[in-house]
Structure 1
Amino acid sequence: MLSKTELTEVRLELLCSDDTEQLLEFELENKAWFDTFIPPREQIFYSRQGVLEHIQQFLLDYKCNQLLPLLIKNESRAIIGRLNFTNVDLNKGTAHVGYRIGHQYTSRGVAKLALKKAIAELSKKGIKRLFAYVEVSNIASQKVLFFNGFKKVRIIEEFAQLHGEEIDCIEFTCLINKRQR
């Protein structure tokens, strides 16, 4: 097993169809881990065709400037996480961020570094404000957001369902050009 030392570098790459096999492997390897924190994907997703269709849909949304789907890779170019900016509105300069990190790469600074790098790139594209929603007990994700200049806005009760239970989430926001280092 890998040690939990912090990574000093991560790579962000736009999702592409060449990633189909590796992404399927990553999602299958981490399915149980992800399912404990976020609503599970449909079973049809967990096939080569399902992942390819997922990628194609995400790339269509990317071409329409509605989504920025990124893969987080290590120095060996292996997928270690995902970082998606959804609800992109270039007119308002806003987007929502979500991420998932493979289980063996948690507590190593991956999300923190990836989000920092992505925010720098988004500011060049005119995005001025980001939003994120985190389940109230997910302290690790809250730390990632705080590190990257996000502030708590409010608690939204019954924001989503997870395993048949309503969950409360914290809404966060970040003004990109006013982030503190």
Structure 2
Amino acid sequence: MGISLEKLRSADGETLFEFEVKNRKYFERMVPSRGGDYYTFETFKLRHHLLLEEQAKGESYYYLIKDHSGLILGRINVVDIDKERKLGYIGYRVGEEYAGKGIAKKALKILIELLADTGVEHLLAKTTNNNTASQKVLEKNGFTYISTSEEEVEMNGKSLKFVYYRKDL
């Protein structure tokens, strides 16, 4: 499946909200919940606006993963960019019906190429120890395992640990 990354825009708010609501239960099986208020459109619009402000300042980059028809398949971001250390943190999520099709792997590869002219030279990532699919995506894109946290977090009745990765561009 061919994909592209498009920088997040104000006009994406409504369709992105629908994507997030549709995939909420799926995402919350793998990552901590964003909280119930995130899934009210008014709160979502406010948060969407704040993300766009961060992006405009160069503090974060937010992209939508889309297919050839413009359908949102997922999201991929570089956040908390530290310009002095040339460092950013990546995160991504692909909708349930598109999982397991190599979309996250392709999107991360494209994102790494897009970062070539941004000054970001180091990427950090974290996932949960039960999210082996995400670990494989990172490793197939040249990320190196750093460590697994000692402390556990409770999620969906399970005790999980965070797994940390790094890639130098």
Smaller-chain TM-score range?
A: over 0.9
- State the distance in 1 between where 2:60 and 2:155 align: 24
- Offset of 1:123 from its aligned partner? 2.0
- State the distance in 2 between where 1:149 and 1:59 align: 29
The answer (yes or no) to whether the contact 1:132–1:171 under 8 Å persists in 2 is yes
What amino acid sits opposite 2:110 in the alignment?
A: K
TM-score (norm 2): 0.93
For 2:147, the equivalent position in structure 1 comes to 154
Answering whether residue 28 of structure 2 is matched by residue 32 of structure 1, we say no
Residue 15 of structure 2, aligned match among 11, 22, 32: 22
TM-score (norm 1): 0.87
Answering whether residue 71 of structure 2 is matched by residue 78 of structure 1, we say yes
Q: After the TM superposition, which parts of structure 1 deviate over 6 Å for at least 4 consecutive aligned residues?
A: none
Deviation sequence 1:108-144 (CA, Å, 0-9, x none)? 1110010000101112211111000111121111110
Residue 171 of structure 1, aligned match among 150, 164, 169: 164
The answer (yes or no) to whether the contact 2:31–2:128 under 8 Å persists in 1 is no
What secondary structure does 2:167 align onto?
A: strand
Identical-pair percentage: 32
- Offset of 1:162 from its aligned partner? 2.0
For 1:135, the equivalent position in structure 2 comes to 128
What secondary structure does 2:161 align onto?
A: strand
What secondary structure does 2:105 align onto?
A: helix
Change (3 A) 1:14 1:173: same
How many equivalent residue pairs? 169
The answer (yes or no) to whether the contact 1:68–1:85 under 8 Å persists in 2 is yes
For 1:54, the equivalent position in structure 2 comes to 47
- Offset of 1:165 from its aligned partner? 5.0
Change (3 A) 1:86 1:161: farther
The answer (yes or no) to whether the contact 1:20–1:48 under 8 Å persists in 2 is no
- Offset of 1:25 from its aligned partner? 1.0
- Offset of 1:161 from its aligned partner? 4.0
CA RMSD of aligned residues (A): 1.5
Deviation sequence 1:23-73 (CA, Å, 0-9, x none)? 111011101101111111222221322221111111111122221111111
Deviation sequence 1:83-132 (CA, Å, 0-9, x none)? 11111112211101011100000011110010000101112211111000
For 1:4, the equivalent position in structure 2 comes to none
- State the distance in 2 between where 1:49 and 1:82 align: 20
- State the distance in 2 between where 1:118 and 1:139 align: 21
